Amino acid sequence: MRKLFFLFAIPVLFAGCQEIIELDLDDPEPELVIEGYLAGLDFWIPDSDLRCSEDDIIPRDSLLFYAAFAELFDIDSIAELTDYFPYNRVKLSLTAAYFSNAATPRVSNATVRLYEDGSLVETLAESTEEAGIYLITYDPVVDAMYHLEVEAEIGGTTKLYETTPEPYLSTPPILETAAVYNPDPLFGDSAAYYLNISTYEVPGLGDHYTWSFYINNEYQSDPGDISITPDDGIDGACVPGSDVYGDPIDLGAEIAVFQSRVSQKHHDFLSNIRQQTAFVGGPFDTPPAPIVGNVKNVTDGGNAFGYFVPAAVTVGFTTVPDTIPAEFE
């Protein structure tokens, strides 16, 4: 049980009175949180040359070359270099009391099973280096449906959880990554380096994309750094020189950008996180509501917390120059 105190001061003719109102807030029962990402290097390549415009055509052989080069990247290669790495891992933790300042507890000794099209393909082993982290080694198949089943002891009771099956989608490769010195995109009153990527979009409306970023091996975890978009207005188009990060980047910084094509439900989940965490804080804002992912508590019924994402990734790297271009000095 936690006690919350509000202090009201009511000025009346230079005098005031104070009243302490005590509210009793029950600590909720802990609930499981599942954060998982099944990833591979599976790229969507068109059956013919990519026609960006009448005068701009990218031969299919060139796209295959970009994809072959992108496949050389080992997804796990930066896992030990960075502060946070979600790919091919499942993190199990518990919700905590509202006023708790401690890190959310991890859940060890759980049974985590990965299913492909309803058939068991792997029982995940827990990491020997980090409690509550379960490692995925299975190589996913494009367009197959994947979900998790988790058995974990919560509050002295073994409970069963499962995620909603979602398709593992291939993604167009990032063709180019560059740091470009430009004026501020909103106000134009200053200039800095910004991240530009070139890629293309899968034809057919209904696709959704996400980007995550590492700068100097540090994951950009602020909710405002969540970059997402549907394919409205860009369906089937080439996307040259797009600033998917949006913020200026320091001189000399090293940047890695991860691109994925995801389900609409995951896109909407991230959109809700942005709306309820990045764009609130005023005195008249609506209090945040629980954000529903794709995790269900089978034992108790109802929704649990978190999201399991099956999606291919493509990665782009660039280093920001350590000097400003001479024409802007």
| Interval 88-118: pLDDT, tens | 999 999 986 554 556 789 999 999 999 999 9
22 confidence band (pLDDT: 50, 70, 90) = low
pLDDT at 275: 81
CA separation for the pair 92, 98 (Å, rounded): 19
**pLDDT at residue 3 in the model:** 39
What are the tens digits of pLDDT across the range 142-186?
A: 999 999 999 999 989 999 999 999 999 999 999 999 999 987 766
Please state, in angstroms and rounded to a whole number, the distance separating the CA atoms of residues 146 and 39.
11
Is there a contact between 7 and 37 (Cβ–Cβ < 8 Å)?
no
Over residues 298-321, mean pLDDT = 94
Q: How far apart are CA 267 and CA 273, in angstroms?
A: 10
What's the pLDDT at 251? 96
pLDDT class for 9, splitting at 50, 70, 90?
very low
Range scoring the smallest mean pLDDT among 119-123, 246-250, 259-263: 246-250
| Lowest mean per-residue pLDDT among 23-37, 160-174, 192-206, 273-287 | 273-287
Q: Which two tokens stand for residue 282?
A: 């005023």
Cα separation of 237 and 189, whole Å?
31
Burial of 63 (0-12, 13-18, 19+ CB in 10 A): buried
Q: What share of the chain is helix, strand, coil (3-state, %, to 5)?
A: 10, 45, 45
Neighbours of 186 (CB within 10 A): 7
DSSP 329: -
Output the six-digit token pair for 66.
């970009």
User: What 3-state DSSP class applies to 315?
Assistant: strand
* Region class of 278: left (phi > 0), else alpha (psi between -120 and 50), else beta: alpha
CB 106 within 8 A of CB 92: yes
Least confident interval from 10-24, 146-160, 272-286? 10-24
